[in-house]
Structure 1
Amino acid sequence: MQVIKKPFRVAIEGNVGSGKSTLIKYFEKFKEVETNAEPIETWRDLNGHNLLQLTYSDPHRWNFAFQHNVQLSRLNLQSKTTNKDIQMFERSLQNNRYCFVEMAHDKGLLSSPEYGVMCQWYEYIEANVDIGLDLIVYLRSLPDIVFTRMQRRNRPEERTIKLDYLVDLHEYYEKWLMKKYYNLPCSLLVINVDKDLSENQLIDLYKTYEDRILGKIPVL
């Protein structure tokens, strides 16, 4: 019987505009790496409906449906097989559970029954599907810095995002990864990206962490 080698799984985490997409694009050229960008197009076109835009424009109405769609799309990515040595994901199921779902519930965007449904679904997935990670890379940046980057790239769905939202999301990332309110599922590598760096400057920064991101040097 052929033994299938399990890939080294890396999740790239961070606030909106922290440089996740730039890092993912940089590692696309590595033949041993399978990169998985956030499935934004799936959220933009759910049977012709832009669920991402609907959620940003009316979060009380659409957050529950959106969280379900996000969890399903991330599950599809994080549970698939690959012949590559490394799988890299732009955000993760774990992130959705411990940052976005927690924040939505605390802000009143998910009712307690809706929150309970999301938590039960996640617990079932975690118990029955291999969604394990080997490394989380946290691109840590101040909210005002990522707000400037977000405005510069000018994605249509993000035009309604306020600085307060980024401040809140930063706090939930900090609770999850830095203050460790929940058990971390794997090793953590923190890369500080507090300066307003250009794309080329971000890539130069990522190169200095390349071996650790690819699992060639252990992250303690």
Structure 2
Amino acid sequence: MTGKSTLLEYFARFSEVELVSECMDDWRSVKGENLLDLMYKDPERWSYLFQSYVQMTMAKSHAKPSAMPVKLMERSIYSARFCFVENMYLSGKMSEAEYLVYCEWFKKMTEYFDCGVDLVVYLRTDPGLVHERAKKRARTEEQAIPLQYFEELHERHEEWICEEKFPLPAPVFVIDANDDLPTMYTKYKLHTRHILRNKSVLSSFVYTVTQKRRSDLNPEELAALEKEEFATGPLRILNESVQNNTQVLINCRNNKKLLGRVKAFDRHFNMVLEQVTEIWMEQPKTAKGQKKAKPVNRERYIQKMFLRGDSVIIVVKNPLGSQQSA
């Protein structure tokens, strides 16, 4: 629904990659019982049971040895805990007692099983589009799921991955997955080497696609690359922060994991900051315990602030969101 199937289809062509899909068949048939269907029909009654079983199958998938250099999992034990279970608890579908027991089991399972990951790929998708794709997929158990459920899950993913409400098990790579199938395939081609991470195991086909010089990309590939760099690179934090505010404090130290490639910063710098009138750097507290700030020459300092993890105050004349909608 978020583009996971397309991503798995693309990487299935590589002999060095083992794909681990969701254990959907297991969840739908536990000695004749369809736990997935039970959970959707009566979540207050069955959410804890279903997610406990999901957690067990996820832990087994994580810990299962792979003969391939790269193991690509459709979903992890971490997204189950920090997104799906968290949403069930916050929406009242799981009681506090059930939630606490589940969290204890999560801690034990991640301690005793090898659940380590090297990279989290976040296919960031508008919840309305996810809802449409779910209806088109026509999985029986999902037909009655309301849009609100996908909106809540989207918020949980944003809290976990973008706001780091919970610890991340690995670096995160964000891909805008709101595009059509051909565009998504182009994106996966462009980012193959980054997603697989181990260059030595890639086939010659991968090198042909991903090691192209920028000047050799066709217009579609170049457009997709530019859009992706802007969506996932250093300016994403700044761009989103000033959408609906005229003065924003950005703690770069807490957001360093999301800043992405620094080269993209230079390329798109003025696209976001053309409306910025002032930049102030937050200074340590004074002897009286009050914070102070000093103005910053943005041309000389702005790039270093992201790398150094400083806290800065961005001031714009008008919220960028209101300008874009006008």
Structure 2 letter corresponding to 1:208? L
The Cα shift of 1:201 comes to 3.3
| Partners of 2:105 and 2:23 in 1: CA distance | 20
Which deviates the most, 67-76 or 24-33? Answer: 24-33
CA distance in 2 between counterparts of 1:64 and 1:89 reads 23
Displaced runs of 4+ in structure 1, greater than 3 A? none
CA distance, structure 2, for counterparts of residue 91 and residue 160 of structure 1: 22
Distance of 1:152 and 1:202 partners within structure 2: 18
Please state if 1:212 is matched with 2:194.
yes
Q: Find the partner of 1:90 among 74, 80, 98.
A: 74
| Partner secondary structure for residue 151 of structure 2 | helix
Are residue 146 (structure 1) and residue 120 (structure 2) matched? no
Q: How far off its partner does 1:22 sit?
A: 1.7
Which of 29, 35, 59 pairs up with 2:13? Answer: 29
* Structure-2 residue corresponding to 1:123: 107
The equivalent of 1:201 in structure 2 is 183
Match of 1:99 among 74, 83, 86: 83
- Which has the greater radius of gyration? 2
**Once the two structures are superposed, what CA deviation does each residue of 1:137-162 show, in whole Å capped at 9, x if it has no partner?**
00001111111111112111110111
Deviation at 1:203, TM superposition (A): 1.9
Number of the residue aligned with 1:165: 149
2:302 aligns to what?
none
SS at match of 2:9: helix
Q: Deviations over 1:32-63 (max 9, x none)?
A: 11100111111111110111111111111110
| SS of residue in 2 equivalent to 1:118 | helix
Residue aligned with 1:174, SS: helix
3-state SS of 1:70 partner: helix
In the superposition, the TM-score normalised over structure 2's length comes to: 0.60
- Cα displacement (A) at 1:202: 2.3
Matched, 1:192 2:176: yes
Q: Tell me the amino acid that sits aligned with residue 110 of structure 2.
A: E
Percent of aligned pairs sharing the same letter: 37
Q: Does 1:62 align with 2:46?
A: yes
Equivalent residue, structure 1, for 2:217: none
Q: Is the 8 A contact 2:59 2:110 kept in 1?
A: no
Deviations 1:1-49 (A, max 9, x none): xxxxxxxxxxxxxxxx101122112212211111001111111111101
Gaps of 5+ in 1: 1-16
- Matched residue of 1:31: which SS? coil
2:190 alignment partner AA: T
State the Cα deviation string for residues 106-138 of structure 1 (Å, max 9, x = none). Answer: 111111111111100011112222101100000
* Whole-angstrom CA distance in 1 between matches of 2:135 and 2:47: 23
- Equivalent residue of 1:38, what SS? coil
Give distance in 2, aligned partners of 1:68 and 1:99: 14
Letter of the 1:46 partner, please give it.
Answer: V
| Distance in 1 (alpha carbons) for counterparts of 2:28 and 2:6 | 20
**Contact map agreement 2:2 2:177 (CA 8 A) in 1:** yes
* Contact 1:21/1:37, CA 8 A, preserved across alignment: no
TM-score scaled by length of structure 1: 0.87
- More displaced stretch, 143-152 vs 83-92: 143-152
Letter in 1 for 2:119: L
Structure 1 residues 146-155 or 90-99, which shifts more?
146-155
Unaligned runs of 5+ in 2: 200-259, 262-326
- Give the distance between the partners of 1:130 and 1:72, measured in 2 at CA: 13
